[in-house]
Amino acid sequence: MQKILFIDPEKCSGCRNCEIVCSLHHEKVCNPNRARIHTVKWETSGLYVPMVCQQCETPLCEVVCPMHALKRDDKTGAVLVDYDLCVGCRLCVVFCPLGGINVDTESSKVLKCDLCDGNPLCVKFCEPQALRYLDATAVNLKKRRAAAEKLSDLMKRMVQV
């Protein structure tokens, strides 16, 4: 079954381990600027949101790429960049609705999540489990349970009244 890199911003503690290990694995250096995942922070209100490519069903990056350099990997479902074809025009960066594609500060080519070939390291390093690699159905199950919990809280309160 297809797996999904699932983000739960409420759990993120903002430690940036995901960014560090992403750049260490892919570029062999620690440089969050060259990571494929990024935690956007509103420091003064305490909100942290990890942002990463969601491997869209209809990937706009793939649609707009003039070189057809972006293709889906059947095994993992990740949309991958073929660097032999990529010319660095960055149209994908412009069109991605999530800001999921980054420009490499070294090579000026584009960087995007490849799900570490089906074993995403950011998930392994995310202790609070703000990042999880789940079966597609499990994602829905968990979301549904969380929503139901809120509803049940509400119902309990109504009963108490």
Partner 1 sequence: MQDTIPHLMASPRSAKNPWLGKRVVDESMVWTRKVAYIDLTQGTIIAKPIPKDLRRLYLGGRGIDMYLLYNHLEARINPLSPQNILLIGVGMLCGIPALGSGRCDIAAKSPLTGAVGDSNIGGFFAPELRLAGFDHLVITGKAEKPSYLWVNDGQIEIRDATHLWEKDTFETQDIIRDDAEDDEVKSLVIGIAGEKQVRFANIRTGMKNAAGRTGMGCIMGAKNLKAIAARGTLDIEFAHPDELIEYSLEMNDKILNTRWAKAQSRWGTLIIYSNTNTTGLIRTRNFQRNRLENGEDLEPESMDRYTIGMSGCYGCSVHCRHRYVLKEGPYAPIFGEGPEYTSLGAFGTMVDCKKMDTILVANHLVNKYGLDTLETGGLIAWAMELYEKGIINKQDTAGLELTWGNEDALFKLIKQIAHREGFGSTLADGFKPAITAIGKDSASYAIQIKGMSNLHSDERPTPSLALNIATSTRGADHLRSRPAIDLYGLPEELLEEIYGVPVSADYTSYEGKAHMVAWQERLYAVTDSIGICKFQTVFCSVNAPKWDEFSKLIYLTTDLQLSEDQLMQVGERIYTIERLFNLREGFSRKDDWLPDRYFDEATPIGLPIAKGKKINRERFKKMLDEYYLLHGWDENGVPKKETLEKLNLDQEPSHQV
Shortest separation between residue 31's beta carbon and partner 1, angstroms: 5
What is the spatial distance between Cα 75 and Cα 147, in angstroms, rounded to a whole number? 31
Q: Which is nearer to partner 1, 33 or 54 (CB)?
A: 33
Q: What are phi and psi for residue 117, nearest 5 degrees?
A: 60, 35
- Amino acid, res. 13: S
- For partner 1, the binding residues in 35-74 under the rule CB under 8 A are 40-41, 43-46, 48
Choose one: 19-27, 51-59, 68-76, 95-103; the region binding partner 1 (CB under 8 A): 19-27
- Cβ neighbours of residue 118 closer than 8 Å, sequence gap 6 or more: 3, 75, 76
Q: Which stretch binds partner 1 (CB under 8 A): 11-19, 52-60, 136-144, 147-155?
A: 11-19
- Alpha-carbon span 25 to 61, nearest angstrom: 23
Q: Distance (Å, rounded) from C-alpha 152 to C-alpha 158? A: 10
Across-strand partners of 81?
70
What gap in Å lies between CA 131 and CA 120, rounded to an integer? 10
| Of positions 7, 16, 49, 155, contacts partner 1 by CB under 8 A | 16
Q: How many residues does the chain have?
A: 161
Residue 2 binds partner 1 (CB under 8 A): no
For partner 1, the binding residues in 104-143 under the rule CB under 8 A are 105-106, 121, 124-125, 127-128
Contact residue for partner 1 among 3, 5, 7, 34 (CB under 8 A): 34
Rule CB under 8 A: which residues touch partner 1?
10-17, 20-21, 24-25, 27-34, 40-41, 43-46, 48, 105-106, 121, 124-125, 127-128
